[in-house]
């Protein structure tokens, strides 16, 4: 590691750690002030951030940036401000009869310095939403944003420096080498959003310092279409969920599992909905580009591999844009060994897999890694209950896509290969807190009766405890 880089990171961490040690339990007023500054920063610079994201992507729909990156951070900050006082309060916990008149209290205490490593696909939201939770919990925050969105990352670094002292919150920009060094720092908690492959390396780096981690990863999130669904509504909502941010969303539906006889009619409805939402692809301000030439080449490779293996491609538009806007495509009759069925797609390609019975769909899902999201379309309550019982996923939306991600009253996080830990709302506050149990003993406690020398009294009391405990 470069000595100058190591020194830069060490100084940033040391400054925040010293500041935390001088104020280990920030007051409600201090935390509220930090959240209000973050909210004001987001409101003030929302349009500039959307413009920076458009620059980084080549083109990104302004409305998508304002909804998915700006509004979501504002919403998270407002939710935290509304509930902060209650989250901070020590909580009385039930005390077993045999420990009375002692009492249990649970105290939530900030951890110290939190590191956040954020990705390129939602560069502001996935940096600032964890920061909201960490600041609410009373921590200091260092953020390493993606090098693939340089304009957004530099703007974040500037506006954070304008609204926060570096010992409160700081953005550290740099390339992948900076990111690697960042994850090796001895944080009190490390929060990473990105791919499963990189997440494994992050977890290994953090383990050397025994740093606890939250990993928000991805995977192949399925959408099950049940025979009881409303075909038109299902097609409309799937098209939106898949093509929002051109499919570059960690919870985008990655493939469809559809009753075999419904594959063709649903596919035609999907293509029609895609054309309704995006009458053209080339030059359409509503349709986002693929973020980098490398990502575009990868998606084109996935498509070529599927075709070579016998897949049938249905494109939504008969166009060939000369920029990085990729025409959406459905892939039918895709062999399961095709690369597009092995890797998270992260783009506007959507395999449609036919099934005969629900058993087949469930077996397919459970035969792979546990996904970050699962979607189910249908009105059959028994089928819904069975899918919920017999599958694992980080989160679920029924009869729509993506929207469970926006629920501040629910935890968001992965399971298995799609991640560990959760955040949003109170779950984020708890992630970045040490929930410290306190047992407060009474002067009148009878615990002296259990002290040595042991004898018949001890045996009688132990027998009594076994009966009442």
The tens-digit pLDDT sequence of the chain (469 residues) is 578 888 999 999 999 999 999 999 999 999 999 999 999 999 999 999 999 999 999 999 999 999 999 999 999 999 999 999 999 999 999 999 889 999 999 999 999 999 999 999 999 999 999 999 999 999 999 999 999 999 999 999 999 999 999 999 999 999 999 999 999 999 999 999 999 999 999 999 999 999 999 999 999 999 999 999 999 999 999 999 999 999 999 999 999 999 999 999 999 999 999 999 999 999 999 999 999 999 999 999 999 999 999 999 999 999 999 899 999 999 999 999 999 999 999 999 999 999 999 999 999 999 999 999 999 999 999 999 999 999 999 999 999 999 999 999 999 999 999 999 999 999 999 999 999 999 999 999 888 888 999 999 899 989 988 888 8
Convert the pLDDT of each residue in 75-87 to its tens digit: 999 999 999 999 9
Task: Say which of 64, 129, 168, 216 is annotated catalytic.
Answer: 216
Q: CA dihedral defined by 174, 178, 180, 186, rounded to 10 degrees?
A: -120
All residues at 6 or more sequence positions from 370 whose CB lies less than 8 Å from its CB, including other chains: 219, 392, 393, 394, 414, 415, 416, 417, 418
pLDDT tens, residue by residue, 128-178: 999 999 999 999 999 999 999 999 999 999 999 999 999 999 999 999 999
Angle, helices 125-136 vs 72-88, to 10°: value is: 10
> What is the C-alpha to C-alpha distance for residues 151 and 147, in angstroms, rounded to an integer?
9
d(C-alpha 74, C-alpha 94), whole Å: 36
pTM for the predicted model, two decimal places? 0.95
Determine what percent of the chain is predicted with pLDDT higher than 90. 93
Do 408 and 75 meet the contact criterion of CB atoms below 8 Å apart? yes
Look over the chain and give the mean of its residue pLDDT values, rounded to a whole number: 96
Reference 334, options 353, 360, 315; nearest CA is 353
C-alpha–C-alpha distance, residues 469 and 451, integer Å: 19
467: CB partners within 8 A, 6+ apart = none
Q: Name the active-site residue from 74, 167, 250, 273.
A: 250
Q: Which residue in the block uniquely carries the two structure tokens 């996904």?
A: 371
The reply to whether 216 belongs to the active site is: yes
At CA 333, angle to CA 332 and CA 336, rounded to 5? 110
- The first and second tokens of residue 281, run together, are 């692809």
**Is 177 labeled as catalytic in the residue annotation?**
no
Separation in Å, CA 432 to CA 85, 137, 143, 421, 426: 16, 6, 15, 11, 10
């Amino acid at each position: 590691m470069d000595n100058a880089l190591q020194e830069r990171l060490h100084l940033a961490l040391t400054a925040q750690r010293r500041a935390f040690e001088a104020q280990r339990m920030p007051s409600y007023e201090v935390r509220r002030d930090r959240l209000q500054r973050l909210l004001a920063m987001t409101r003030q610079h929302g349009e500039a951030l959307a413009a920076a994201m458009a620059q980084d992507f080549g083109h990104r729909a302004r409305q998508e940036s304002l909804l998915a990156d700006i509004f979501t951070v504002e919403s998270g900050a407002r939710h935290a401000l509304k509930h902060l006082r209650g989250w901070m309060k020590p909580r009385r916990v039930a005390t077993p009869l045999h420990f009375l008149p002692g009492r249990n209290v649970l105290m939530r205490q900030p951890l110290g310095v939190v590191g956040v490593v954020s990705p390129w696909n939602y560069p502001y939201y996935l940096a600032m939403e964890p920061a909201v939770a960490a600041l609410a919990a009373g921590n200091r925050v260092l953020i390493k944003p993606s090098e693939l969105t340089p304009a957004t990352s530099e703007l974040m670094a500037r506006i954070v420096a304008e609204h926060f002292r570096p010992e409160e919150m700081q953005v550290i920009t740099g390339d992948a080498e900076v990111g690697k060094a960042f994850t090796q720092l001895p944080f009190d908690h490390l929060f990473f959003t990105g791919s499963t492959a990189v997440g494994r390396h992050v977890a290994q780096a953090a383990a050397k310092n025994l740093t606890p981690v939250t990993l928000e990863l991805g995977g192949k999130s399925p959408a099950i279409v049940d025979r009881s669904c409303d075909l038109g509504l299902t097609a409309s909502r799937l098209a939106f969920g898949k093509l929002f941010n051109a499919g570059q969303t960690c919870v985008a539906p990655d493939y469809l599992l559809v009753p075999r006889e419904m594959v063709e009619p649903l596919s035609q409805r999907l293509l029609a909905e895609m054309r309704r939402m995006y009458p053209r692809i080339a030059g359409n301000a509503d349709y986002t580009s693929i973020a980098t030439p490398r990502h575009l080449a990868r998606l084109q490779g996935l498509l070529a591999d599927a075709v070579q293996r016998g897949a049938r491609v249905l494109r939504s538009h008969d166009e060939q844009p000369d920029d990085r806007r990729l025409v959406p495509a459905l892939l039918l009759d895709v062999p399961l060994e095709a690369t597009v069925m092995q890797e998270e797609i992260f783009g506007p390609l959507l395999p449609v897999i036919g099934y005969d019975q629900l058993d087949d769909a469930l077996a397919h899902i459970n035969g792979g890694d546990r996904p970050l999201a699962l979607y189910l379309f249908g009105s059959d309550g028994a089928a819904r209950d069975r899918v919920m019982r017999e599958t694992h996923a980080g989160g679920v939306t029924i009869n729509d896509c993506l929207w469970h991600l926006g629920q501040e009253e629910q935890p968001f996080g992965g399971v298995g290969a799609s991640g560990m830990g959760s955040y949003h709302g109170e779950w984020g506050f708890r992630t970045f807190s040490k929930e410290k149990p306190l047992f407060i003993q009474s002067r009148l406690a009878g615990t002296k009766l259990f002290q040595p020398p042991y004898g018949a009294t001890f045996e009688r009391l132990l027998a009594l405890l076994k009966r009442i405990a």
